[in-house]
Amino acid sequence: MTAVATAEALNGLSGLDVRLRWPNDLYTGGLKLGGILCEGSFRGSQPENFVAGIGINVNQQLANLPAEVRRRAVGLSEHGLDERDIAAHIVSRLESWWQMRDPSRIVFRFRELAEGDENRRVRVQPRAGDAFEASTRGIAADGGLAIRLDDDTERILYSEDVIHLLESDDH
């Protein structure tokens, strides 16, 4: 929900085509614009507390960053957007999605905004076990990432199970 709301807000404000990459990245033009980290706690099966951190390259001067970062990142500094306007639009979109409370619509919208989540060769570093390579199959109905292993078995990955998900060419 946070990723969808953030992408929608940035699309509306900037005129850019902001896309999502599972599980938590914001991209435009194939370059990383930001990311989202969410943490939560449950009491039994009931949600108790949640925190969402949204990081967007708003005022960074990319020329001052290392070449490796400049090659993969983009910022909003040339669009003249005020960070308060960005924050207000994100909160407004979050509120709209929160009021709907419809997980299937959120996943549907995530799929519409997804970039590179199908037929992408990735290297997965799970929290437990050895790294492996797979091909992405798209976003599953529950929001996980569907993958196909080299032996043609299919699995669904969840963000809590993965430390790194890198394009196979990046390792």
pLDDT tens per residue across span 132-153:
999 999 999 999 999 999 999 9
- Mean of the pLDDT values across residues 97-112? 94
Q: Please report the sign of the dihedral spanned by the C-alpha atoms of residue 47, residue 156, residue 137, residue 162.
A: positive
**Beta-carbon contacts of residue 133 (< 8 Å; ≥ 6 apart):** 121, 122, 123, 124, 150, 168
Q: Does domain 118-170 have CATH number 3.40.50.620?
A: no
- Topology adopted by domain 2-113: BirA Bifunctional Protein; domain 2 (3.30.930)
Tell me the two tokens of residue 143: 């929001």
What is the Cα–Cα distance from 159 to 37, expressed in whole angstroms? 10
Instruction: Let me know: does 116 contact 127? Beta carbons within 8 Å.
Output: no
Query: For 38-52, what is the mean pLDDT?
Result: 90
* pTM (two decimals): 0.88
